[in-house]
Amino acid sequence: MDALEQTTAIHALALSLSKELSREEASRLSMLLIQLGNTLGTISALQGLETGAAETAVI
């Protein structure tokens, strides 16, 4: 899936969800997904730092 297809799929999902969810449900889901994205980004960054530290220590 290329970037345009991925963007289109995400947009379609958001539209579909917005038709089924109340304003409060949509807001809560949005906050949950933002937190999930932030947490995954933090984990990924920490793993990168650990990998970088391990590679530096070997040198």
pLDDT digits (tens, 9 = 90+) for 22-36: 999 999 999 999 999
Q: Is residue 41 part of a domain?
A: yes
Number of domains the chain contains: 1
Q: In this predicted structure, what is the pLDDT of residue 1?
A: 87
Q: Do 26 and 17 form a contact (C-beta atoms < 8 A)?
A: yes
Write out pLDDT tens, residues 38-57: 999 999 999 999 988 766 55
Q: In this predicted structure, what is the pLDDT of residue 52?
A: 82
Q: Is residue 53 part of a domain?
A: yes
- What is d(CA 14, CA 44) in angstroms, rounded to the nearest whole number? 25
Q: In this predicted structure, what is the pLDDT of residue 56?
A: 57
pLDDT higher than 60, residue 59: no
Q: Is residue 13 part of a domain?
A: no
Q: Is residue 33 part of a domain?
A: yes
The model's pTM is: 0.73
- Look up the domain containing 42 and give its range: 22-59
- What is d(CA 45, CA 42) in angstroms, rounded to the nearest whole number? 5
